[in-house]
Amino acid sequence: MLIDSFFTYSIKEKTEAGFVAEIKLKTDSPVYDGHFPEMPVTPGVCQVQMLKEVLNEQLNADYQLSKARDIKFLNLINPNDNNLFLLEVSIKTMDDNSINVNALMHNGDTKCMKVRAVYSQAKT
């Protein structure tokens, strides 16, 4: 899990359709030692994982990404330049108990990641 070791978050707003979380990246995370020490860049896979972990905590369930309709990384995230972002998430439950998720991670006008995906509950 990346929560606490790579980032922390707090919920700023809950809506009928989802939530808005404030994400704070940990600039001293060992991830940045390899990606890249002189100019750290937040890996896309970590951004997608942050969404999954926040989603799972907020829904109190174990969802897995099952269909990526659209995942775009719109700007590089250097945590030394800025380590605070908003993650806006809207969720729609489908008939098969999977969820349709639309998410946008941004810092003001700077959009960093946009996701349209389906998440399904993990099989136990």
Summarised one tens digit per residue, pLDDT across range 65-98 is: 999 999 999 999 999 999 999 999 999 999 898 9
Residue 29 neighbours by CB under 8 Å, 6+ apart:
5, 6, 79
Comparison of pLDDT for 117 and 36, the residue scoring more: 117
CA-based angle 58:72:35, to the nearest 5? 85
Per the domain annotation, does 2 fall within a domain?
no
Q: What is the CATH number of the domain that holds 104?
A: 3.10.129.10
Domain that holds residue 104: 7-121
Chain centroid to CA 35: how far? 18
Per the domain annotation, does 23 fall within a domain?
yes
Q: What percent of the chain has pLDDT over 70?
A: 99
Per the domain annotation, does 12 fall within a domain?
yes
Give me the pLDDT at residue 36, please. 86
- What's the CA gap between 59 and 37, in Å, rounded? 35
Q: Is 83 exposed, middle or buried (0-12, 13-18, 19+ CB in 10 A)?
A: middle
Per the domain annotation, does 16 fall within a domain?
yes
pTM of the model: 0.95
Whether the CB-CB separation of 20 and 89 falls below 8 Å is answered with yes
Per the domain annotation, does 92 fall within a domain?
yes
What integer best gives the mean pLDDT of the chain? 95
Per the domain annotation, does 96 fall within a domain?
yes
Per the domain annotation, does 1 fall within a domain?
no
**pLDDT above 90: residue 61:** yes
Domain count, the chain: 1
